[in-house]
């Protein structure tokens, strides 16, 4: 170890300062005292107005913290508001405190009074939020602003977010704040169960452990939210913690929720244990012993294996006790007896009679545990069973019970429903090719069902017959019995009170007349349908009328009707009708040569209905419209050119030439659009052909027409060589088709124009080979607007002679 060199008695530590450095200490102290002096004297250096304003701020802040009367707080707030313009640096704080005073006032007043205060509080707090307050005021600002938004139902999601983030530090009573958040999240649309659950858990955390009642209520609320989330196992854990020390009402509610959760999870044994345990507290359970016995019986029936003997015992007990649950138990008891043992049928009917003893008319039966439809199904099954057993006495007994829960004519309706159901079963078997069911069998059963519904209609009061007539019509339509369907619908439209159903009836009747070729009657029916404009059926009727007008070449009228459909869109215009109407509009506009509007509607159709089977046709017509519009531009340019005369003023001539160039430019742009439309269609179809190795007949035709359109675009754009190439390829690739034949005409014309007679001759001879191989009745010659085979042969011979004729010698001047 190295020996120390420090002399004994020397001081170890920091080096001592020299005398020259000691001046720094008093200087530092003097500076510190100066700073403190400035800070201490700052309030005395402010103006009296500032000190007064600061006092108001401080008083309001203290008053808010102490919870002083709101009227005095608002009075201070009004004074601050009157003077705060002079102190822009404290605007944020002022707005925060003014808004807080109003917030407290709104909370202290009834809703009718607070309704006018909340907007004012919200306005000031929003301004404070925008300007930015000091950090220690932010939680209170955020909570109060969120609270105001929530009370005003303004930006509720953001309001709840602010309140949730700031409730712990910003609310005077966080426990109350979380309870409000639970209520808000459960009322939110959609319900925010996760946030509600988190708030419930915070309520439990903040509830004092010594407050057992409040703890139990908090756990019950947590369990209720968990059940709504479907987390039944977690809910049961919370419910199990609500023990014997909890208030009886809460404890029993917890047990009922446990039973519900076990039932929903098919844990029948656990549910049975809960229900049996509740018997001891039956007088205090909502619904009493009878409700417990009813629920216990249902669980006993659901467990595996069912305890039928115990079920019948507890349900018989419930039936004796009466009430809605006792009635339900008796009805289920009768059904159970029928299912278990035919020998108990008599006792089953006795149970049903006891359960329905106080039911005189259908309106008397209102049971929350058994739906009328369920009970009618049991009675239907019993009637079928007793009919099969040829027991008219019991059948009549069930019919009498049936009349207690349904009008007397329901028996006829039940027969009709059974007949229709059988028809539907036969139809399903026929579709699946089962049991050798033929189409005639299905139609015959539907015809019987239609007759049964007609009979049911006649047995009902006049005001209630419409539905049975409608069902009869649907069955007759399924039976392809149009005559009977027409007759029934004619009665239906005379009595149906509901506008929507009446409009549908007139539409169906119009369709039947239309299919039968009765145009006048169909139009009358469609117009009756249109007289009820607030349904989707009115637009469907208009569509049929428009199509009829188009067929009669009344294009203006057809367009007018289609405009009514497409320009009055709303909930009454269903998508299929809109789709059909839009397509029909494109057809009408094309026939009217209105290619500009047709192109607009075609684009709309292609964009909005890409899955429509006619969308490829529409895309081909898009190209055709653009090409026709281009031709129109060129024609307009030619018309203008014809107006140029010798001696026309230069300025006027230049203006005309400028307009000619504009038309030509527009025409070329449209030709480009047309070619692009066609090319996109070609690319898609050829890609599909390569991937699937085939196209449908329509797709193949559209591919040829698209190529034809591209060739015409090049021709119209005076790119004759490219046009010739395309038409030559089209003829070679698609021989003996409509497009192949017409391509030959284009090739020959272009060959003459370009002085390529050999190209034209090759095309003509190819055409002649095709014509020779095609019969006179070939479908190509049966296509609309296609000449006969004889006309094609004569044209090919004339064209061949013309191509073989040497060109006339040019007698004009020769360039040397």
**How many CA atoms does the CB half-sphere of 638 hold within 13 Å?**
7
Burial annotation 267-282 (CB, 10 A radius, 16+ → b, else e)? bbebbbebbeebeeee
Q: Residue 18: which pLDDT band, with cuts at 50, 70 and 90?
A: low
Looking at 103-117, 321-335, 382-396, 556-570, which range is the least confident one?
Answer: 382-396
Mention every residue, 6+ apart, whose C-beta is less than 8 A from residue 91.
84, 127, 131
Beta carbons of 767 and 732 less than 8 angstroms apart: no
Point out the least confidently predicted range of 2-6, 37-41, 726-730.
Answer: 2-6
Answer whether residue 681 shows pLDDT above 90: yes
Q: What is the mean pLDDT of residues 195-200?
A: 93
pLDDT at 102: 93
For 278-405, CATH gives 1.25.40
The single residue listed with the structure tokens 């479908």 is 779
pLDDT at 226 over 70: yes
What pLDDT is attached to residue 396? 67
For residue 36, pLDDT beyond 70? no
Give the DSSP letter of residue 752.
Answer: H
Least confident of 286-290, 417-421, 594-598, 694-698: 417-421
Place of tokens 């712990």: 168
pLDDT tens for residues 307-348? 999 999 999 999 999 999 999 999 999 999 998 877 888 999
Q: Identify the pLDDT of residue 456.
A: 83
pLDDT at 38 over 50: no
Question: Is-contact 541 508, C-beta < 8 A?
Answer: no
Closest CA to 145 of 109, 184, 179, 95: 95
pLDDT score, position 10: 38
Q: For residue range 493-505, what is the model confidence (pLDDT) as tens digits?
A: 999 989 999 999 9
**Pairwise CA distance, residues 628 & 622, whole Å:** 10
> What are the tens digits of pLDDT across the range 376-401?
999 988 877 775 565 657 766 887 78
Indicate the burial class of 286 (C-beta count within 10 angstroms; 0-12, 13-18, 19 or more).
exposed
Q: Using an 8 Å Cβ cutoff, are 477 and 492 in contact?
A: no
Between CA 718 and CA 614 the distance in angstroms is: 32
What average pLDDT score do residues 749-776 get?
94
Instruction: Take residue 653 and report the two structure tokens written for it.
Output: 């001539």
Q: What is the pLDDT of residue 2?
A: 41
- Res 545: pLDDT: 95
780 close to 741: Cβ distance less than 8 angstroms: yes
Band (pLDDT 50/70/90 cuts) for residue 7 is very low
**CA-wise closest residue to 792 among 810, 811, 816, 774:** 774
Q: For residue 410, what pLDDT is reported?
A: 74
pLDDT at 8: 34
Query: Tell me, what's the pLDDT at 809?
Result: 54
All structural domains of the chain with their residue ranges: 278-405, 604-718, 723-806
**Helix, strand, coil percentages for the chain (3-state, nearest 5):** 75, 0, 25
* CA dihedral of residues 390, 392, 394, 400 (deg, nearest 10): 140
Would the pTM of this model clear 0.85, i.e. be above it? no
User: Tell me, what's the pLDDT at 28?
Assistant: 60
Q: What is residue 241's three-state secondary structure?
A: coil
Question: Which of 10-24, 565-579, 642-656 is predicted with the least confidence, judged by mean pLDDT?
Answer: 10-24
What six digits make up the tokens of 172? Answer: 């005077």
Position 670 scores a pLDDT of 95
pLDDT: is 249 or 533 the higher one?
Answer: 249
Residue 587 C-beta-side C-alpha neighbours within 13 Å: 18
Sign of CA dihedral 338, 339, 344, 348: negative
CA distances from 218 to 347, 723, 764 (A): 49, 84, 95
Cα 324 from Cα 370, distance rounded (Å): 9
Please tell me what DSSP assigns to residue 614.
Answer: T
- Residue pair 715/723 in contact (Cβ under 8 Å)? The answer is yes
Nearest to 537 by CA among 514, 582, 507, 568: 507
In this model, does residue 41 exceed pLDDT 60?
A: no
Average pLDDT over residues 453-481: 89
Query: Residue 137 contacts by C-beta under 8 Å, 6 or more apart in sequence?
Result: 93, 96
pLDDT (0 to 100) of residue 34: 52
| Tens digit of each residue's pLDDT (9 = 90 or more) over 696-718 | 999 999 999 999 999 999 999 99
Token digits of residue 530: 């249109």
Task: For residue 175, give the nearest of 199, 214, 203, 197 by alpha carbon.
Answer: 203
Residues 6+ apart with CB under 8 A from 451: 472
Grade residue 814 by pLDDT with cuts at 50, 70 and 90: very low
Residue 746 has pLDDT above 80, yes or no: yes
């Amino acid at each position: 170890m190295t020996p120390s060199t420090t002399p004994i008695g020397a001081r170890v530590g920091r080096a001592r300062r020299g005398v020259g450095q000691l001046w720094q200490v008093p200087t530092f102290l003097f500076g510190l005292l100066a700073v403190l002096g400035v800070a201490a004297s700052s309030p005395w250096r402010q103006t009296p107005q500032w000190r007064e304003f600061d006092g108001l701020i401080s008083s309001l802040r203290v008053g808010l913290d102490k919870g002083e009367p709101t009227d005095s707080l608002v009075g201070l707030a009004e004074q601050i508001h009157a003077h705060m313009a002079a102190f822009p640096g404290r605007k944020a704080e002022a707005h925060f405190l003014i808004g807080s005073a109003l917030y407290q006032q709104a909370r202290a007043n009834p809703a009718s009074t607070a309704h006018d205060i909340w907007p004012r509080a919200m306005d000031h707090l929003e301004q404070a939020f925008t300007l930015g307050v000091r950090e220690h005021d932010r939680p209170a600002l955020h909570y109060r602003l969120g609270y105001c938004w929530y009370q005003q139902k303004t930006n509720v999601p953001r309001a709840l977010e602010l309140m949730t983030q700031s409730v712990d530090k910003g609310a005077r009573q966080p426990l109350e704040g979380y309870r409000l958040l639970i209520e808000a999240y459960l009322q939110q649309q959609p319900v925010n169960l996760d946030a509600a659950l988190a708030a419930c858990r915070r309520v439990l955390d903040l509830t004092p452990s010594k407050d057992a009642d409040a703890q139990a209520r908090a756990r019950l609320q947590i369990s209720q939210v968990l059940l709504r989330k479907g987390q039944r196992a977690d809910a049961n854990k919370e419910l199990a913690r609500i023990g014997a020390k909890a208030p009886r009402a809460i404890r029993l509610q917890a047990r009922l929720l446990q039973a519900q959760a076990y039932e929903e999870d098919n844990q029948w044994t656990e549910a049975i244990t809960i229900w049996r345990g509740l018997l001891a507290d039956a007088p205090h359970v909502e619904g009493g012993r009878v409700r417990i016995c009813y629920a216990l019986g249902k669980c006993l029936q659901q467990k595996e294996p069912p305890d039928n003997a115990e079920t019948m015992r507890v349900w018989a007990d419930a039936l004796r006790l009466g009430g809605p649950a006792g009635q339900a138990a008796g009805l289920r008891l009768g059904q159970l007896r029928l299912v278990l043992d035919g020998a108990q049928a008599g006792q089953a009917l006795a149970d049903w009679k006891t359960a329905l003893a106080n039911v005189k008319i259908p309106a008397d039966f209102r049971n929350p545990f058994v739906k009328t439809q369920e009970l009618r199904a049991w009675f239907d099954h019993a009637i079928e069973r007793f009919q099969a057993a040829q027991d008219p006495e019991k059948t009549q007994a069930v019919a009498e019970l049936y009349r207690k829960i349904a009008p007397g004519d329901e028996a006829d309706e039940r027969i009709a429903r059974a007949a229709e159901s059988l028809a539907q079963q036969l139809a399903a078997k026929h579709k699946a090719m089962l049991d050798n069911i033929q189409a005639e069998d299905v139609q015959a059963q539907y015809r019987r069902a239609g007759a049964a519904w007609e009979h049911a209609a006649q047995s009902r009061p006049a005001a209630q017959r419409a539905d049975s007539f409608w069902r009869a019509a649907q069955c007759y339509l399924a039976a392809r019995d149009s005559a009977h369907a027409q007759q029934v619908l004619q009665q239906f439209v005379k009595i149906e009170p509901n506008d929507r159903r009446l409009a549908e009836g007139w539409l169906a009747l119009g369709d039947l007349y239309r299919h039968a070729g009765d145009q006048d009657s169909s139009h009358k029916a469609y117009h009756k349908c249109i007289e009820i404009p607030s349904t989707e059926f009115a637009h469907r009727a208009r569509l049929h009328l428009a199509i009829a007008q188009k067929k009669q070449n009344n294009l203006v009228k057809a367009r007018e009707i289609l405009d009514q459909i497409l320009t009055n869109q709303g909930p009454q215009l269903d998508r299929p009708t809109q789709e059909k109407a839009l397509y029909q509009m494109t057809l009408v506009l094309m026939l009217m040569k209105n290619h500009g509007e047709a192109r607009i509607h075609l684009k709309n159709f292609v964009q909005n209905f890409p899955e429509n089977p006619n969308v490829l046709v529409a895309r081909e017509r898009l190209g055709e419209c653009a090409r026709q519009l281009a031709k129109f531009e060129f024609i307009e340019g030619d018309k203008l050119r014809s107006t140029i005369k010798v001696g026309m003023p230069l300025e006027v001539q230049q203006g005309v030439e400028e307009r000619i160039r504009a038309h030509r430019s527009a025409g070329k742009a449209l030709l480009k659009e047309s070619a692009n439309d066609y090319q996109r269609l070609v690319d898609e179809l050829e890609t599909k052909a390569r991937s699937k190795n085939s196209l449908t007949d329509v797709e193949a035709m559209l591919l040829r027409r698209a190529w034809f359109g591209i060739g015409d675009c090049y021709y119209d754009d005076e790119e004759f060589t490219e046009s010739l190439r395309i038409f030559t390829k089209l003829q070679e690739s698609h021989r003996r088709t409509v497009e192949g034949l017409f391509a030959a005409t284009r090739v020959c014309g272009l060959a003459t124009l370009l002085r390529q007679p050999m190209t034209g001759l090759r095309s003509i001879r190819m055409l002649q080979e095709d014509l020779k191989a095609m019969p006179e009745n070939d479908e190509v010659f049966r296509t609309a607007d296609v000449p006969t085979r004889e006309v094609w042969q004569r044209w090919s011979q004339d064209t061949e002679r013309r191509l073989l004729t040497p060109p006339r010698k040019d007698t004009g001047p020769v360039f040397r």
